[in-house]
């Protein structure tokens, strides 16, 4: 079996050697499912460790006596750590190589979650969340570098859509997992479970994954100059901010919005949010297929148009129409990431793809996953919770225009 190395050439690997060379030469996507699914499992625990605080937020807010903006600051501190870690991830992966960086991320995420269990004030919790962000941010650049050098570019849409099962499954599983555990345990018990699973997955990945054994690239001056002079890089910076806002940003505040603004019971709100995310696991594949057919730019533009409109309506409607928007908004929003990461992976040479990711995603998470949710929380404290959600929808909608100007180079 052959895989792609970081120079874009072919090299032999002992991994997955039960597959034949004819599979690769014939372009069968199934030949790559083994390593993709193992990466996806690590990504699932990495992602759910950060979003699990969304369904836990009403309980955390009550337990610690927090205002809306203080509760929303949980995601800002995770995003701050995540952004710093992404920016420095190239230095870590250059020294450890991508595989060991992925293992480090998984184990460190588990340890960070276990440390939060022992925190009893908002500032100690914030310190633990900052460490969680620092740990989880190491994964994505190395994970995408390992993925896009393993799979031929003609399959990137489908490969990334498979990889994107992790966040989409996390969006669905997190509320159900939270409610299941909180039937018998406080919210801290949920963190213990995910933390232990993440540590165990890191060990399994180190034993069974054969690949990613090449160093990452640090943001050196030539790489930075090449990226900063490329207008596609700046377009993707904007689009990822809006894409993360449409998915993670809205999701993190939605249970609290439904409970505080519309008076739903916590378990019913979490159930609605969980069920609304089922479609995302299938829509990601549709988005991957559309990306391979019509290109990432046009696909992203359509996603922002529909997701933005649905988010505006989420903030303005009530009753059964509100429930309809709870289900419709994520159907559109989750379609961003397959074309988004395919577009981002086409910026720069193959061995510097992690640089583009580690520069773009931090800013996007700070804005879309931290600042905008905190802004919604501030408006909630001012009695304008619904307007805050609709305003976020207007930002998402505006992304439809710059997406049309993205021109892929690979």
| Confidence at residue 11, expressed as pLDDT on a 0 to 100 scale | 38
Phi, psi of 164 (to 5 degrees): -75, -5
| Confidence at residue 242, expressed as pLDDT on a 0 to 100 scale | 93
Range of the domain at 277: 29-403
Confirm whether 11 is domain-assigned. Answer: no
The β-bridge partners of 11 are: 3
At 3 the three-state DSSP class reads: strand
Confirm whether 18 is domain-assigned. Answer: no
Confirm whether 104 is domain-assigned. Answer: yes
Cα–Cα distance measured from residue 19 to residue 75, given in angstroms and rounded to the nearest whole number: 42
Confirm whether 3 is domain-assigned. Answer: no
User: To which H or E segment does residue 89 belong?
Assistant: helix 68-96
Q: Encoding tokens for residue 346? A: 């086409």
Kindly give, in sequence order, each residue whose CB lies less than 8 Å from that of residue 309, ignoring residues fewer than 6 positions away: 393, 397
Kindly give the confidence (pLDDT) of every residue in the chain, 410 residues in length, as a single tens digit, with 9 standing for 90 and above.
Answer: 334 343 333 333 333 333 433 344 445 766 667 778 888 899 999 999 998 988 888 888 887 877 777 777 888 898 889 888 878 887 888 888 888 899 999 999 999 999 998 888 888 888 999 999 999 988 988 888 888 777 766 666 677 778 878 887 888 888 888 888 888 888 888 999 999 999 999 999 888 777 666 776 666 666 677 677 777 788 888 899 999 999 888 988 888 888 888 888 888 888 888 888 887 667 777 777 787 787 788 888 889 999 999 999 999 988 889 999 999 998 888 888 888 877 887 776 655 566 777 778 788 888 888 889 888 888 888 888 889 999 999 999 999 998 888 776 65
| Confidence at residue 43, expressed as pLDDT on a 0 to 100 scale | 93
| Confidence at residue 348, expressed as pLDDT on a 0 to 100 scale | 63
Confirm whether 10 is domain-assigned. Answer: no
| Confidence at residue 163, expressed as pLDDT on a 0 to 100 scale | 82
DSSP state of 326: H
Q: What is the CATH number of the domain that holds 390?
A: 1.20.1250.20
Number of domains observed in the structure of the chain: 1
DSSP string, 32-83: GHHHHHHHHHHHHHHHHHHHTHHHHHHHHHHHHT--HHHHHHHHHHHHHHHH
Judge whether 17 and 1 are in contact, CB under 8 Å.
Answer: yes
Confirm whether 74 is domain-assigned. Answer: yes
> Which residue bears the tokens 């619904």?
386
Count how many residues are written for the chain: 410
| Confidence at residue 390, expressed as pLDDT on a 0 to 100 scale | 93
Cα–Cα distance measured from residue 74 to residue 117, given in angstroms and rounded to the nearest whole number: 14
Confirm whether 186 is domain-assigned. Answer: yes
| Confidence at residue 30, expressed as pLDDT on a 0 to 100 scale | 64
The answer to whether the predicted template modeling score (pTM) of the entire model surpasses 0.85 is: no
User: To which H or E segment does residue 187 belong?
Assistant: helix 187-208
Confirm whether 251 is domain-assigned. Answer: yes
| Confidence at residue 154, expressed as pLDDT on a 0 to 100 scale | 66
């Amino acid at each position: 079996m052959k895989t792609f190395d970081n120079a874009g050439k072919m090299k032999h690997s002992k991994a997955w050697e039960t597959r034949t060379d004819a599979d690769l030469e014939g372009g069968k996507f199934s030949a790559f499912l083994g390593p993709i699914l193992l990466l996806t499992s690590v990504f699932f625990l990495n992602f759910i460790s950060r979003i699990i605080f969304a369904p836990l937020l009403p309980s955390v807010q009550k337990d610690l006596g927090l205002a809306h903006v203080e509760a929303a600051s949980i995601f800002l501190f995770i995003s701050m750590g995540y952004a710093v870690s992404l920016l420095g991830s190239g230095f870590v992966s250059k020294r450890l190589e991508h595989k060991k960086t992925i293992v480090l991320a998984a184990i460190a995420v588990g340890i960070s979650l276990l440390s939060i269990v022992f925190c009893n004030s908002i500032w100690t919790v914030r310190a633990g969340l900052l460490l969680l962000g620092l740990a989880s941010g190491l994964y994505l650049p190395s994970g995408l570098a390992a993925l896009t050098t393993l799979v031929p570019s003609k399959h990137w849409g489908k490969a990334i859509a498979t990889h994107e099962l992790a966040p989409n499954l996390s969006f669905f599983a997190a509320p159900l997992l939270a409610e299941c555990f909180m039937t018998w345990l406080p919210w801290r018990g949920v963190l213990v479970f995910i933390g232990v699973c993440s540590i165990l997955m890191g060990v399994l990945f180190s034993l069974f994954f054969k690949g990613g054994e090449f160093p990452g690239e640090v943001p050196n001056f030539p790489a930075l100059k090449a990226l900063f002079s490329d207008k596609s890089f700046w377009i993707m910076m904007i689009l990822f901010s809006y894409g993360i806002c449409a998915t993670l940003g809205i999701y993190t505040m939605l249970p609290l919005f439904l409970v505080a603004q519309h008076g739903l019971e916590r378990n019913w709100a979490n159930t609605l949010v969980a069920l609304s995310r089922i479609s995302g696991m299938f829509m990601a594949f549709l988005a991957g297929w559309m990306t391979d057919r019509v290109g990432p730019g046009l696909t992203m533009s359509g996603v922002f148009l529909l997701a933005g409109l649905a988010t505006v309506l989420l903030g303005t409607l009530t009753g059964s129409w509100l429930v309809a928007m709870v289900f419709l908004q994520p159907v559109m929003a989750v379609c961003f990431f397959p074309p988004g990461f395919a577009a981002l992976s086409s910026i720069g040479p193959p061995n510097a793809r992690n640089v583009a990711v580690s520069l773009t995603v931090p800013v996007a998470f700070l804005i879309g996953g931290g600042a905008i949710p905190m802004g919604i929380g501030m408006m909630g404290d001012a009695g304008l919770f619904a307007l805050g959600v609709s305003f976020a929808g207007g930002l998402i909608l505006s992304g439809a225009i710059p997406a049309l100007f993205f021109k892929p180079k690979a």
